């Protein structure tokens, strides 16, 4: 058997010798080397051409942006340092938020409000699109449960719907007592609010712009929520001056985020302003504000232009995306670390990681270019900061086009998207979709708050609300703000009970006669309404 195998192998030796001789003969090696040289030359030309084409296209586009005053370098968006004595955020309490494992960073979570928050349900009226008084009776019960330790043992939710002024006034005393555990921290924030600037100790990591830690956003919103409940309780017991100071501090805390180039910071700022409007509404509904207080609130709300303020965070997002393409090229991290590229997608994260190591530098330029062009097309024509207009129909059209691009595979986590340099855009552009909507909601709320203050001043002066908004100008307010969604004056009418209805046509751009949707700022139906409960 072994002899047979040996004989068979030996019989093949001449064949192997002839094969190797042919492969390594001069006549074969020279053409083979020529083919390899041609392949490497073509590959080098491909890389050179793609790099040149991508760099040229991106540089042209970038120069056009910069010629129009646009900034694309993320470093330019990092807020400048300010001296501690002028910096609101340079206080021990605020700095503790940025220290991991520091017990002081969770002080808000340990106070009575932090333990009671989430246990109080809002009043459940059938007409959900209208504002309602804070359920102070329920908050009184929640604070009592915290003191007795009941909320640590049971999942208790408190709601009473007892919203008459006399009952709320009695409950407000206990609510103010329950909020005293927050006073030390709120007092520190109030003292610091006298400083002219705010620069939080955020580390703007240029090697990972999407991993920047922003723990202060939750804390600022928490402080505003505590101040809101306190201001509502103060108004219920007739302490309008104290309530005004709390509203002013809420608005200061919201504006402390104004210079941050991060979209989520902008959205939290909008949310804080809307939280601060609740006690303003309650004071107006109960006629608790004096004319001097109303003038101060009116002036403050008239200062807001959230559409103009939206440009900085949006441009910051664009600059971060541009920086991201550079970081991916320099192997600071892999695409699968930045994006959620998992197996259910047409292509997996491992494949994208592999491709990213070998594609030409020019493809990263093309990713930057594609992102910026799609960024421009998504936002273009959706709002006008100068004229204070937002265009919901245009936003819906752009959203539909983006969805169609994703459905067609031209945008997303697909091989087609990679080859067309739209992977970065697919991951980052959808985050921009709701910015204009949120800005419209907040600006409408601020405009309506300012108008409501003016209407109350008119009532104090004349004994009743005016027949039309035009009666407010020029003595009380000029010019009158307009509805962002139509460019026309806000709708207004005096009600039969002596109150009034003030409203925007809402996101559907349809006048529903002052009938709200299911929520205060419904995206699908109804008007955005400011009105008071019937007497």
Q: Which of 231, 254, 289 is the last residue of a domain?
A: 289
Percent of the chain whose predicted confidence (pLDDT) is above 70: 82
If asked whether residues 236 and 334 sit together in one domain, one would say: no
**pLDDT digits 0-9 by tens, 113-133:** 998 888 887 655 445 788 999
Same domain, 208 and 97: yes
User: Which structural domain range is residue 89 located in?
Assistant: 74-289
Half-sphere exposure of 210 (CA within 13 A, CB side): 18
φ/ψ of 109, rounded to 5, equals -70, -25
pLDDT of residue 1: 46
Residue 66 inside a domain? The answer is no
The answer to whether residues 271 and 364 belong to one domain is: no
Clarify whether residues 132 and 45 are in a common domain: no
Assess whether 495 and 414 both reside in one domain: no
Distance CA 205, CA 376 (A): 26
**Residue 322 to residue 66: CA distance in whole angstroms:** 14
Q: What mean pLDDT, rounded, does the chain reach?
A: 86
d(CA 280, CA 244): 8
Specify whether 255 is located in the same domain as 350: no
- What is the model's pLDDT at position 346? 45
Please check whether residues 332 and 429 belong to one and the same domain. Answer: yes
DSSP string covering 496-517, please?
Answer: TTS-EEEEE-TTTT---TT-B-
User: Quick one: which H or E segment has residue 494?
Assistant: strand 491-494
CB neighbours of residue 192 within 10 Å: 19
Query: Residue 494 falls within a domain, yes or no?
Result: yes
Same domain, 518 and 373: no
CA 418 to chain centre: 28
Claim to verify: residue 138 and residue 264 sit in the same structural domain: yes
Q: How would DSSP label each residue in 11-29?
A: HHHHHHHHHHHHHTSHHHH
Cβ-defined contacts of 323-328 (< 8 Å, 24+):
323/74, 323/206, 323/209, 324/209, 324/210, 324/424, 324/428, 325/364, 325/365, 325/367, 325/368, 325/371, 325/424, 326/364, 327/207, 327/208, 328/356, 328/364
Among the listed residues 464, 489, 439, the one whose alpha carbon sits nearest the alpha carbon of residue 308: 439
Low-confidence ranges of the chain (pLDDT < 50): 1-2, 4, 6-12, 103-105, 125-126, 341-347
Q: Which residue has the tokens 């539909």?
A: 400
- Domain match, 316 and 396 both: yes
> Does residue 138 fall inside a structural domain?
yes
Ordered DSSP codes for 344-391: TSSS-HHHHHHHHHHS-HHHHHHHHHHHHHHHHHHHTTTEETTTTEE-
Q: Is 71 left (phi over 0), alpha (psi -120 to 50) or beta?
A: beta
Residue 495 lies in a domain: yes
**What contacts 272, CB < 8 A, 6 or more positions away?**
220, 221, 224, 250, 253, 254, 257
Residue among 352, 346, 356, 472 nearest 406 (CA): 346
Q: What is the 3-state secondary structure (H, E, C) of 179-196?
A: HHHHHHHHHHHHHHCCCC
Kind plus residue range of the DSSP H or E element containing 241? helix 240-255
Residues 419 and 482 in one domain: no
Whole-Å CA distances, 396 to 146, 155, 506? 46, 41, 14
In whole angstroms, what is the distance from residue 279 CA to residue 297 CA?
11
Q: Structural domain tally of the chain?
A: 4
The model's pLDDT over 298-328, given as tens digits with 9 standing for 90+, comes to 999 999 999 999 999 999 999 999 999 898 8
> Cα dihedral sign for 217, 157, 282, 466?
positive
Domain end, chosen from 402, 433, 464, is at 433
Structure tokens at 121: 């349900």
Q: Return the number of other C-beta atoms located less than 10 Å from residue 274's C-beta.
A: 20
Is 193 domain-assigned?
Answer: yes
Mark whether 364 and 240 lie in a shared domain.
no
* Helical axes 216-236 vs 165-178, angle rounded to 10°: 140
Q: What share of the chain is helix, strand, coil (3-state, %, to 5)?
A: 60, 5, 35
* CB-CB contact of 298 with 251 (8 Å): no
Residue 298 located in a structural domain = no
Q: Evaluate whether residue 449 is within a structural domain.
A: no
CB atoms within 10 A of CB 479: 8
Q: Give domain status of residue 285, yes or no.
A: yes
CA angle (390 as vertex; 386, 393 as ends), nearest 5: 145
Report DSSP letters for 103-149, one per residue: GGGGHHHHSHHHHHTTSBPPP--S-TTS-----HHHHHHHHHHHHHT
Closest to 503 in 3D by CA, of 469, 467, 473:
469
- Among candidate residues 11, 26, 61, the one where a domain is terminated: 61
> Which residues, 6 or more positions from 94, have their beta carbon under 8 angstroms from its beta carbon?
88, 189, 192, 200, 216, 219
């Amino acid at each position: 058997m072994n002899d047979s195998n040996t004989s068979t192998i030996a019989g093949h030796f001449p064949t192997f010798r002839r094969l190797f001789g042919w492969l390594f003969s001069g006549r074969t090696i020279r053409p083979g080397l020529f083919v390899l040289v041609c392949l490497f030359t073509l590959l080098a030309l491909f890389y050179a051409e793609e790099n040149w084409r991508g760099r040229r296209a991106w540089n042209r586009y970038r120069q056009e942006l910069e010629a129009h005053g646009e900034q694309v370098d993320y470093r330019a968006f990092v807020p400048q340092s300010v001296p501690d004595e002028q910096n609101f955020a340079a206080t021990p309490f605020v700095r503790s938020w940025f220290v991991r494992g520091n017990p002081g960073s969770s002080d808000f979570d340990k106070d009575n409000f932090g333990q009671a928050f989430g246990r109080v349900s809002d009043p459940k009226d059938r007409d959900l699109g209208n504002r309602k008084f804070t359920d102070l009776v329920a908050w009184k019960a929640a604070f009592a449960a915290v003191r007795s330790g009941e909320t640590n043992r049971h999942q208790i939710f408190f709601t009473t719907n007892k919203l008459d002024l006399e009952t709320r006034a009695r409950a407000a005393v206990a609510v103010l007592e329950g909020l005293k555990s927050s006073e030390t921290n709120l007092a520190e924030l109030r003292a610091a609010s006298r400083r002219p600037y705010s620069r939080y100790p955020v580390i703007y990591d240029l090697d990972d712009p999407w991993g920047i830690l922003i723990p202060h956003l939750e804390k600022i919103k928490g402080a505003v929520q505590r101040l809101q409940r306190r201001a509502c309780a103060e108004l219920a017991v007739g302490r309008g001056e104290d309530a005004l100071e709390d509203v002013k501090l809420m608005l200061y805390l919201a504006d402390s985020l104004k210079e941050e180039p991060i979209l989520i910071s902008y959205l939290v700022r909008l949310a804080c302003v809307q939280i601060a409007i609740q006690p303003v509404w309650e004071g107006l509904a109960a006629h608790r504000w004096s004319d001097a207080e109303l003038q101060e609130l009116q002036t403050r709300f008239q200062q807001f232009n959230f559409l103009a303020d939206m440009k900085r965070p949006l441009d910051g997002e664009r600059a971060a995306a541009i920086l991201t393409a550079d970081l991916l090229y320099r192997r600071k991290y892999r695409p699968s670390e930045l994006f959620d590229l998992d197996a259910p997608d047409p292509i997996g994260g491992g494949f994208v990681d592999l491709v990213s190591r070998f594609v030409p530098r020019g493809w990263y330029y093309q990713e930057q270019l594609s992102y910026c062009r799609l960024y421009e097309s998504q936002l273009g024509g959706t709002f006008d900061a100068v004229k204070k207009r937002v265009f919901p129909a245009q936003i819906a059209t752009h959203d539909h086009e983006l969805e169609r691009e994703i459905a067609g595979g031209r945008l997303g986590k697909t091989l087609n998207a990679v080859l067309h340099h739209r992977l970065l855009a697919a991951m980052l552009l959808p985050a921009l979709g709701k910015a204009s909507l949120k800005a419209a909601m907040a600006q409408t709320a601020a405009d309506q708050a300012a108008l409501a203050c003016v209407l109350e001043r008119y009532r104090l002066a004349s004994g009743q609300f005016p027949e039309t908004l035009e009666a407010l100008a020029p003595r009380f307010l000029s010019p009158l703000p307009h509805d962002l969604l139509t460019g026309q004056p806000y709708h207004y009418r005096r009600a039969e009970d002596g109150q009034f209805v003030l409203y925007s046509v809402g996101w559907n751009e349809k006048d529903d006669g002052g009938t709200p949707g299911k929520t205060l700022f419904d995206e699908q139906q109804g008007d955005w309404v400011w009105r008071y409960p019937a007497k």
